[in-house]
A and B are shown apart, each in its own frame.
Chain A
Amino acid sequence: MSDRAEATVRVIEGGLRKRGRLRDSHITLAHGSGGKAMRDLIEDVFVGSFDNPVLAALEDQAVVALSELASHGDRLAFTTDTFVVNPLFFPGGDIGTLAVAGTVNDLAVSGAKPLFLSCGIVMEEGLPVETLRRVVASMKRTAEQAGVYIVTGDTKVVERGAADKLFINTAGIGVVPEGISISARNARPGDAVIVSGYLGDHGTAILVARNELALETQIASDCQPLNGLVETMLRACPDLHCLRDATRGGVATVLNEFAQSSGVTIRVREAALPLRQEVKGACEILGLDPLYLANEGKLVAVVPAEAAQRVLAAMRAHPAGEHAAVIGEVTGEQAGVVVLQTVFGGERIVDMLVGEQLPRIC
Chain B
Amino acid sequence: MKYVDEFRDPEKARTLAKEIRDLVGRIERARRRPLQIMEVCGGHTHSIFRYGIQQMLPDEVEFVHGPGCPVCVLPMGRVDDCVALAERPEVIFTTFGDAMRVPGSKKSLLQAKADGADVRMVYSPLDALKLARENPGREVVFFGLGFETTMPSTAMTVLQAKAEGLRNFSLFCNHITIIPTIKAILDSPDMHLDGFLGPGHVSMVIGTRPYQFIARHYGKPITIAGFEPLDVLQAVWMVLRQIAEGRCEVENQYGRVVPEEGNAQALAAIHEVFELREFFEWRGLGSIDHSGVRIRDAYAEFDAERKFSLPNVRIADPKSCQCGEVLKGVIKPHECKVFGTACTPETPLGALMVSSEGACAAYYSYGRIELGSKHGRLQHGGPQRRINP
A interface residues (Cβ-Cβ under 8 A, vs B): 212-213, 256, 259-260, 265, 277, 280-281, 284, 287, 333-339, 342-349, 351-352, 354-355, 358-362
Contacts and interface: CB of A to CB of B under 8 A. Distances in A.
A361 B96 contact: yes
10 pairs of A and B residues whose beta carbons are closest in the complex: A346-B52, A358-B97, A348-B366, A354-B345, A359-B97, A346-B55, A337-B381, A361-B96, A362-B149, A334-B378
Given A260-B382, A265-B378, A343-B8, A358 B98 contact: yes
A334 B367 contact: no
23 contacts: A277-B1, A334-B377, A337-B379, A342-B50, A343-B8, A344-B51, A344-B52, A344-B53, A345-B14, A346-B51, A347-B55, A347-B370, A349-B367, A352-B381, A354-B383, A355-B101, A359-B121, A359-B123, A360-B357, A361-B97, A361-B145, A362-B147, A362-B201
Given A287-B46, A344-B56, A358-B100, 10 more contacts: A256-B381, A336-B381, A345-B56, A346-B56, A347-B52, A348-B50, A351-B364, A351-B383, A359-B98, A359-B123
Nearest to B43: A362
Contacts of A212: 122-123, 127
Interface residues of B, number: 56
Contacts of A342: 50-52
B96 A359 contact: yes
Contacts of A281: 1, 4
Contacts of B373: 347
Given A349-B365, A361-B70, A362-B201, A334 B380 contact: yes
Nearest to B12: A344
Contacts of A260: 381-382
A155 B357 CA distance: 46
Interface of B: 1, 4, 8, 10, 13-14, 43, 46, 49-56, 70-71, 96-101, 110, 121-123, 127, 145-147, 149-150, 201, 229, 345-346, 355-357, 364-370, 373, 377-383
Contacts of B8: 343-344
Nearest to A354: B345
Contacts of B97: 358-361
Contact of A360 (B1, B56, B355): B355
Nearest to A271: B10
Contacts of A256: 381
Contact of B366 (A280, A343, A349, A361): A349
Nearest to B57: A346
A347 B345 CA distance: 20
Contacts of B356: 287, 360
